[in-house]
Each structure stands twice: as structure tokens, then as C-alpha cells.
A and B are shown apart, each in its own frame.
Chain A
Amino acid sequence: MVLDSKLPEGPIAEKWEKHKFNVKLVNPSNKRKYDIIVVGTGLAGASAAASLAELGYNVKAFTFHDSPRRAHSIAAQGGINAAKNYQNDGDSVYRLFYDTVKGGDYRSREANVYRLAQVSVNIIDQCVAQGVPFAREYGGLLANRSFGGAQVSRTFYARGQTGQQLLLGAYSALSRQVAYGKVKLYTRSEMLDLVTVDGQARGIITRNLLTGEIEQHAAHAVVLATGGYGNVFFLSTNAMYCNATAAWRAHKKGAYFANPCFTQIHPTCIPVSGDYQSKLTLMSESLRNDGRVWVPATKETAERLRKGEISVNDISEADRDYFLERKYPAFGNLVPRDVASRNAKMMCDEGRGVGSTGLAVYLDFADVIKRTSAEAVSQKYGNLFDMYAKITGENPYERPMRIYPAVHYTMGGLWVDYNLQTTVKGLYATGECNFSDHGANRLGASALMQGLADGYFVIPYTIGDYLASTPPKPVTTEDPAFAEATAAVQSRMQQLMSINGTRTPDDFHKKLGHLMWEYCGMSRNAEGLRYAKQEIAKLRQEFWSDLKLAGTENEMNQALEKAGRVADFLELGELMVDDALDRNESCGGHFREEYQTPEGEALRNDDDYAYVAAWEYMGDNQPEKLNKEELTFENVKLTQRSYK
């Protein structure tokens, strides 16, 4: 199959306008004859479900949570970018577009990113009209801050809870449509398979998480807004329930999976404190504006520190290595996320890490507290300092924070064309679930922007183009494909329940996470990746022969839910490794040790790897087939990043 990204012709600034004119429309009185399934109720899903219902379509919205408001979009802290140029500081749609393509290390599609920058301004208007309480200046207008190294202030925010406020806005729009009867809401319902009829998406199979009942749902089109797959790593900043099952099931039914190895590691998270650790907590990267990152200058000092023989405040200035300031004098502590993360890992690999595990570096606020005051620092970062103190039991005003990188976001996802349609007709993917806009690295405050852009302003236009060429006849679950998919889901549940081995789902998940983190994490090499591939295959076999569960599949059974998700992670993990092995270059979040500059920076290979790797499922135990979508850059000049 040739990948057709369906990019519109013409100058970049006119593509979206032209495309909106060229797509087919569905007659207003016909819209109510079409049913659309939306899976996931985070920013991308709730905004899509509400907007599609407002247009007149019948929407069925699914979430595995008890309420749409629990989706993990809620935990985003920093903010949302938009090219409003309210600060008169030189921002524009073109600049946001340019920054995003460059930040993505030139592995995203120009046309998609330009559209994202264009609709970013509409998102802010929409959210304000909904009553989202963004931060404001004393004059009553909206406040902005600069974020993630951007040279303009284009980030809108609601204290450290921007994701929460945006999600509650989308949730309110969704709730309104539920009240109108245009959205039927299915909570505690987990999608376990996609149903295709004659190669077109025709519905989904779900499990009611309260009763265990397997249910069939038919529609004219299906939208997946099911988030990212960061939890492959077991420990990440993702919520506990985040998983790849819906996307992975769709992949096995024909949707290509793009750039799975592109994962983002965030440098400022609270480090792991023990084996029992269930998740990692992000500390906003704004902390690096004032905090100084360091480790002890020698291994010996670090060891004495870890043993508790000395305390951090005993270490003299001469005995400290402010390694980011030393190596990157121009950017210092503000180097991009991937550079900061990799350097922290290097220090710990050298044996100079701190904390009881040795897997942490210091983020020190002593200088800024001395220069200003503890009160001034509290004004700026109070809630973050409180959160740190709550989790670690340490006072960051008196001793430096300990931080370590953690998996935070996945740029890869289901391959979609310009319409956000996957390689399965009638199946769409929005938000973190797709791969389209962030290339090999996502810029700060861009995830919220993309989720809402897709849901409010892209899918409502593009899905009509498909539906207009689909007859408005009622769809049912009578096709044998539904019965087949249901039987497959049921038999998988029974299979999981009947293994009766000795190890829990978490046990396997932790092992997988460890392999992924060590060999397919912040830095990768061919040898390690090949080893991980073997080990994952072994682990998968052990999973299917030694899994232990309790209870039955016909009731609420959280361990069974977990087991199904881990089974899919065990397959996706291997594809991530394959993808990392294929990409013989370093770019963005993907750092292959074999491909670096003499200074140890990422070395891209634009001649051979300026493509999207779209993987095609070929059947159980078959290697996946790599399809390439070549990327062409007509507007942005490809350069090597440098932060020296």
C-alpha cells in the first residue's frame, strides 16, 4: 500500500483553507443519520465528541474511567501555545509553525504543523468563551509566559493546572451534548477491538468494566483519542490506566503505527525512591529557569553522600559540578529536554548520581533564594515546592531538589493522513494517539494545543469528507465481523484467566519497563536493542504461560484489565525496539549512541532518514513491514541544533 498523506497543493499558508473548501459536506438534515464512535474523553476525544454532536451527528463516547473528567489530559501543568501575538513580541502563525518543526528535529509534516499553528488561535477563543479561567493581567486581558525555551511569550496558562481547566472546558461542552441526547456516554467501558467490514471501520467491541460484559457498538466512523503509550516503560509520568490497547488493537486490524520509537523523556521528575514505586511525578520545567543542576565533582564524594556520611550542604562549591553550565555555556540549565535528560543519565552512569539509589541529580535553588528571597521563590514555584515536599518529605527551600528524567510523552502513534484518517478507512486518530505533529520531539505547551486542535477544529471538517461518500443507511452489529471480533475478545479473556501461573501482571510489566528504559530509553545502541528484542520475546512467552489472576472475567476485575494492557505493551515494546533499530541516526528523543557528533550531540541523517516509519502488522509472530512516507521540507531549512 502506498502511503498517501493527502496533503493539499499550494502555498503552505493556503493549504488548509483550500482543503476545507474542497472536502465534501454532509447535508445538515443527513447528519443525524450518521453515527460516530469516539473512544477516549481527554482533550482530543471530548472536544471531538462535543463538536461532532453540535454539528448534528449521533455520537457515542467511550471512556474506561468512571467519568470523562478523569482523562490524563487533566494532569498537564505548564500551558497551551497559541500564535495570538498578544504580547506584541514578534510571534506569528509562521513562527509557531517554524519553531514546532525545528523543535521536532525535522521529522514532522510541514502542512500538518502549519495547520496546527493556524487553528491554535481559535482554541484560545473557544476555551475563553466556555469559561476556562486562564491567567489574566490587571487590565483584564489574558496573560502569557514564555515556555520551554521559546523566544516569544505565547503560552496561555491557568496556574500550574492548565490541562485541568482545558479538560473541564471540553468536558462541559461534552456534558451539554449528553444532556441534549446527541452524545451517548459509556463510562467504565474499555475498547478491546476494532470491527472492520469490507476494509472499513464499522464499530468496536468493549468490555463493561463493572460487569465484565462484552458489548458491540456499530457506527459509520470511529475516532480513536486514546492517548499515548508511555506506560510501556512501567514507570512514567502517565496516569496508571494510560495504555495502548485501543490503538494496538486498531493496528492489528490494519492501522499503521508510525515512529513508535519517538518517546519524550522529561528531565525534571521526582526520582524513584524504591521498587514499590508505581509512577513518577513531573515537576514543571519552568523550575530550570532558576534552579541550577549539579552533581558532586567526584565519584568518591557522591558515594559518601549516598551512604549518609556527609550531607548535601557539606559539599563545597569546588566539589560541585554544574555540568549543564559547564558543557553548554550559552544555554546552561535551559538546554532542551532531551539534552538535559541525557546529561543527567551520563552523570549517574559515571557514578556521580545522588540520593539513596544514585539515580538523581540536584536542582538547586540556593542561589536564587540568596539573590531574591525564599518568599519570592515561593511566589513563583510555591505549589511545586509543596508537591515536592509532600512526596519526598524533604524541604526544597533548605536543600536542593533531587530530580531525574522520566518518560513523559510519546510522539509516535497511529499513522494518519492530513485528514487524521488512519490506513483503515473510516478510522481516525486524534491527539497523542496519532503521530502527526511533533516529529521526533515535542515542544513544551504543544500537547494541549494539538489535542484541542484535532478535536475542535480539524476532525469536524475532515470526517464529513468521508461520511459524505458513505450512504446514510443505518449501521448494525449484524455483520458476522461483530460476532467474530466478540468471540475473539471473549476467548482472549478466558485465555488470560486460565493460565493459572505464578506471576502477577505488574511483575511482567515492571520487567518490560526495565528492559525498555535500559535499552530503548534515553540513549540506545544496536547491540542493546537487539538484546532487548530477544528478552521481550522471552518475557512475552513467560507472560502467556505463567500469568496469575484471580476472580472471574464476569465481574469487576482490575487485575484482568491490567493483564490485557500488559499483553499489548509486550507486543508494542518490541515494535518500538524494531523502529529504534531501523533508524540509524539520532534525532529528537531518539538518541542512537553510534550516531553522535564529536561533541556528543545528536547526529541526524537527513539524506537517508527524513521519513515517517509506518509499520504494518503482518500477522501473529511475523515481522512487521516498514512503509516509508518521505518528508519534504519546502518552507523550513534543515539545520543541526546547537546549544553550546
Chain B
Amino acid sequence: MAGSNPNAKPMNLTLKVWRQKNRVSEGGIVDYKVKDISPDMSFLEMLDVLNEDLLRQGQEPVAFDHDCREGICGSCNLFINGRAHGPEQGTTTCQLHMRKFSDGDTITIEPWRAAAFPINKDLSVDRSAFDRIIQAGGYVSINTGGTPDANEIPIPKNIADRAFEAATCIGCGACVAACKNASAMLFVSAKVSQLALLPQGHIERKTRVENMVAQMDKEGFGACTNIGSCAAECPVGISLENIATLNQEFLSAKATSNNLA
């Protein structure tokens, strides 16, 4: 009951943080101490404290990506003590709270590690490869206007619910970071499954899966070896079943391709 407990003890921690000046320079771990950390702080608020301290001392704060701090925008992406988004299951870094740690702990904080996600600076990485995969086919090709009345496309509730589950991917990249091969299969499969399940996506399903997979390979993501770390570390619980769907869609597209170009 830390939230209303005025006696919750502040913590002192040692942080081992990856610092890297820019994309081309070499990086390394730097040690910092932070004091009087409240257990009610979020992990990123703890980093705010560190950064305010550094700035006051005239040192450069640690760069990291974050925005909504509600677990939905997918910006935050820290590799904490060897785990994507840290020790708590089903949680983004911004929703991880310091009550999951203990006084005196040493915490190692690194960026996502993947060839397809180059490091911009410190803990910030470039995930534009994900955008390019979506650009390769993660949509239904319709223009604004001229669409039929929404209720003219009835969809069974169970199908709509499954499509929704797949569509909740926040594009954070934890799946890639957690995978020993840095594979993006879970991310790609979530979008492929969403649109393969829905009638709106059927018309382009073959070209879509072929083009998205081709782009994924081009970006330098690794192959999938069915270990499942991606789903285990996914903060929003995207299921491994989506990868099965992706494989099925891909094989069927290859066997009966209408991608004639």
C-alpha cells in the first residue's frame, strides 16, 4: 500500500547507464548514484531525478525516449537489468514503478540492442525501420471518402475481438530487443494478422504479407527461431499465435501469389 503510506522508505541506488555521444561514437557504461528515490516514482521519474542532478552539475543529461507515460505511445524503450522494459511482466518502462526495486540495488540501463535499431544517443534508438515496414503494406488501400456505411461490413464479434488484440501493438520494439536474433516477426505479424482477420484486409492480403516481410528482411532484422521471448516480454501481450498466422499467410501467398509485378 505504498501509495498512501507516508512511511514508505526512500531508496538509494546505483545506476549503470549506457552513454554514447552519437550514432558513430563508441559508447560505454557509466555509474551514477541516485538518492532518496521514492518507491512511488515511476522508473522514468527516477531518471528525471538523475537528469536534473546532472544538469545542475553542468553535465549532459541522459538522453532517452518517452512521451505519454501511460504505456500506450510506445516511445519508452529501456533494457533494464537485461530485460526489455524491466522486471515487471506486461509493463512498459514508463509504467514500471520503483517499488519493484529495493534500497541499495544496482540497476543496469541499456538501449535496445539490434542492428536494425541504431543508437542515436545514450538510450535513444532509431526505430524508423518499423515505419518503413508499415509503409510497405500495413494498411488497407482506400482513399478518404466514398466508403460504404460502416454497418454494411458486419464482422463476427470474436473475429473483431481477435483483430483488436493484434491491433493493440504499440510499436515499442521490445520484441526485437528481447529476441536473441533481433527478429521483428511479432511486430510484423500483429499487423498482418489484424488485417488478415478482417474482411477489409482480404483483398490485399497476399501482396501485403509479401511486401511487409520483404521490407522486414531488408531492414536487417533477424530470423524467427520460435523461442517466444518476444511474446513473453511484450508489454501489451501480443500473442505468439500471430506469428503462426504470419507464417501461414506468407506461405499461402507464396504458393498462390497474385503479386504479379
Contacts and interface: CB of A to CB of B under 8 A. Distances in A.
Interface of A: 47, 50-51, 54, 65-72, 74-75, 84, 86, 122, 124-131, 133-142, 158-159, 161, 164-165, 168, 171-173, 175-176, 178-179, 185, 187, 210, 239-241, 273-274, 276-279, 281-282, 306-308, 355-356, 387, 390-394, 402, 456-457, 460, 502, 504, 506-507, 548-551, 555-559
Given A130-B200, A210-B120, A72 B68 contact: yes
B224 interface: no
A175 B135 contact: yes
Contact of B52 (A54, A125, A356, A504): A504
B1 A66 contact: no
Q: Which of B49, B67, B128, B134 has the most CB of A within 10 A?
A: B67
A140 B68 contact: no
Given A161-B168, A175-B138, A239 B156 contact: no
A67 B170 CA distance: 11
Question: Which of B2, B60, B63 counts the most A-chain CB atoms under 10 A from its CB?
Answer: B60
A239 B40 contact: no
B140 A179 contact: no
Given A129-B153, A136-B157, A387-B95, 5 more contacts: A130-B140, A308-B7, A393-B3, A548-B55, A555-B22
Contact of A393 (B61, B99, B153, B155): B99
Interface string B214-254: 00000000000000000000000000000000000000000
Contacts of A549: 55
Contacts of B147: 122, 125-126, 128-129
A626 to B, nearest CB: 35
Given A67-B131, A390-B95, A393-B40, A355 B4 contact: yes
Interface stretch (B11-19, B71-79, B102-110, B175-183): B71-79
Contacts of B143: 51, 54
14 contacts: A67-B130, A69-B131, A71-B73, A75-B68, A125-B149, A126-B147, A140-B156, A179-B135, A240-B69, A274-B40, A281-B70, A556-B120, A558-B61, A559-B55
A175 B164 CA distance: 20
A141 B154 contact: yes
A74 B68 contact: yes
Contact of B2 (A74, A393, A551, A558): A393
Nearest to A282: B70
A490 B160 CA distance: 51
A504 B55 contact: yes
A240 B7 contact: no
Contacts of A279: 69
A477 B154 CA distance: 50
B7 to A, nearest CB: 7
A473 B188 CA distance: 42
A485 to B, nearest CB: 27
Contact of B141 (A124, A164, A176): A176
Contacts of B120: 210, 556
A277 B69 CA distance: 11
A530 B126 CA distance: 46
B55 A129 contact: no
Given A161-B72, A276-B49, A131 B164 contact: no
B154 A72 contact: no
Nearest to B95: A390
Interface string B121-158: 10010111011001110111111110111110111110
Interface of B: 1-7, 21-22, 38-42, 44-45, 48-49, 51-52, 54-56, 58-61, 63, 65-75, 91, 95, 97, 99, 120-121, 124, 126-128, 130-131, 134-136, 138-145, 147-151, 153-157, 160-161, 163-164, 167-168, 170-171, 194-195, 198, 200-201
Nearest to A122: B145
Q: Is the interface of B mostly helix, strand, loop or mixed?
A: loop
B134 A136 contact: no
A567 B157 CA distance: 50
A124 B150 contact: yes
Nearest to A172: B139
A130 B139 contact: yes
Nearest to A456: B144
Contacts of B160: 133-136, 140
B151 A142 contact: yes
- Going nearest first, the 4 A-B pairs with the smallest beta carbon separation are A140-B154, A392-B3, A172-B139, A129-B147
B249 to A, nearest CB: 15
A117 to B, nearest CB: 16
Contacts of B161: 133, 136
Contacts of A175: 131, 134-135, 138-139
B7 A393 contact: no
B121 A172 contact: no
B48 to A, nearest CB: 6
B155 A136 contact: yes
A131 B135 contact: no
Contacts of A387: 71, 95
Contact of A165 (B38, B45, B134, B164): B164
Contact of A278 (B45, B138, B167): B45
Q: Pick from A139, A168, A281 the residue with the most CB of B within 10 Å.
A: A168
A550 B58 CA distance: 6
Nearest to B130: A67
Contacts of A551: 60
Contacts of A273: 3, 38, 40
A172 B200 contact: no
A67 B99 contact: no
Contacts of A307: 6
B242 to A, nearest CB: 14
Contacts of A210: 120-121
Q: Which of B60, B121, B144, B161 has the most CB of A within 10 A?
A: B144
A131 B168 contact: no
Contacts of B44: 278
Contacts of A71: 73
A139 B67 contact: no
A387 B236 CA distance: 13
Contacts of B155: 136, 140
A161 B236 CA distance: 12
A88 B99 CA distance: 49
A359 B68 CA distance: 23
B48 A129 contact: no
Contact of B73 (A74, A179, A355): A74
B144 A131 contact: no
A459 to B, nearest CB: 11
B211 to A, nearest CB: 9
B45 A394 contact: no
Most buried by B among A126, A129, A131, A277: A131
A273 B41 CA distance: 8
Contacts of B69: 239-240, 278-279, 281
B59 A550 contact: yes
A273 B63 CA distance: 25
Contacts of B171: 67, 69
B2 A457 contact: no
Given A276-B49, A394-B3, A402-B4, A171 B22 contact: no
B210 to A, nearest CB: 14
Contact of A128 (B128, B145, B150): B150
Contacts of B149: 125
A84 B138 CA distance: 28
A240 B72 contact: no
Contact of B144 (A50, A241, A282): A50
Contact of A130 (B6, B51, B130, B142): B142
A537 to B, nearest CB: 25
A241 B69 CA distance: 10
Contacts of A137: 157
Contact of B91 (A136, A276, A390): A390
Nearest to B160: A136
A84 B150 CA distance: 10
Contacts of B55: 504, 548-550, 559
A394 B4 contact: yes
